[in-house]
Amino acid sequence: MAIGKLEEVDIRELWKHEQYDFSEWLAKKENIEILNNILGLTLVDISKETYVGSYRCDLFAKDETTGIRVIIENQLEISNHDHLGKIITYASGLDAKVIVWIVKEAREEHRSAIEWLNNNTNSNINFFLIEIHAYKIGNSDKAPMFQVVEQPNDFIKNNKVSNSNETMNKSQSQRIEFWNQFNNVVVERGKPFNIRRATTDHWYSIAIGTSEAHIDITLVNKDSLIGVELYITNNKDLFDKLYDRKEDIEKDLNFKLDWRRLDNSKASRILYYIKGLNFDDHTNYNELINKTIDLAVLMRDTFKKYI
């Protein structure tokens, strides 16, 4: 059997110009999906060349499930101080919480700078430094590859802002452990939805194709429950529309839901709970996670038909 040799090629052979070639390529749905897998987000509403004063940010987007603003600055050359200053300027001007800097090669001082920013800003601000490379085997097509150089350490950052007591830290650690195992199973199952980064949060969001609502998975350890729900951000009309189809929706799902309009809140929730969560006993995690994934996919696909 012949085995080819992986050969790195100059990325300028794929994209001659940052703005007109690389940014255009990256903004396409199938290519931004590569970044989604790295960031743990679902980027939508991609805007190119967004102005911040007299400067222009290469790509500006938002996460579909959270509404978090994301900037992407592309530099098909060795990282420099000029672009480091730009990403901070763009983040400030566009109120971005996720900042992505893509470079051909990251200098050591810029790696250190991004690491310092991640460790010394609050948990809401996240910096990614990513190198873009390209490879071929023999006469094959050239293939791009993203390599993460620096990224947020959610466990460290959350401990910095909420280091209240030992119990809280234990809960945070258990959530990260659960979500990491959850993500592993999602990958094993062929990624039926975009993976989110494992964090200390008790929720995990799944996009359904609209910014009006998403599927949330919530860990309620004190009640030994995992919740799977349609979370409607701020649209009572949408809740009422779905409630009018309650019988059809529950027939499709083959189980009853807990419908919560929440008149005194902007959000509305349509819930189902799975029993068996116990942070002190992980023996049922694999079964519990698979059941949760099955339910989340079923609810996502069902509600998409009615929204």
The predicted structure's pLDDT at residue 271: 97
Looking at 1.10.10, 3.40.1350, 3.40.390, 1.10.287, the CATH number of the domain 6-152 comes to: 3.40.1350
Domain ranges in the chain with CATH number 3.40.1350 = 6-152
Q: By CB neighbour count within 10 A (0-12 exposed, 13-18 middle, 19+ buried), where does 255 fall?
A: exposed
CB contact at 8 A, 306 and 249: yes
User: What does the pLDDT look like over 115-140, one tens digit per residue?
Assistant: 999 999 887 899 999 999 999 998 89
Coil, helix or strand for 196?
coil
Q: Rounded to an integer, what distance in angstroms lies between the CA atom of residue 140 and that of residue 138? A: 6
The list of the chain residues with pLDDT below 50 reads: 155-167
Domain ranges in the chain with CATH number 3.30.1460 = 164-304
Helices (H), 123-231: 154-161, 166-188
The predicted structure's pLDDT at residue 154: 62
The predicted structure's pLDDT at residue 172: 87
> Which residue in 5, 36, 23, 155 sits closest to 76, CA to CA?
23
Looking at 3.30.1460, 3.40.50, 2.40.170, 1.10.3470, the CATH number of the domain 164-304 comes to: 3.30.1460
Helices (H), 50-165: 81-94, 108-120, 154-161
pTM over 0.85? The answer is no
| H or E, element range at 47 | strand 43-52
User: What does the pLDDT look like over 17-48, one tens digit per residue?
Assistant: 887 799 999 999 899 999 998 888 899 999 99
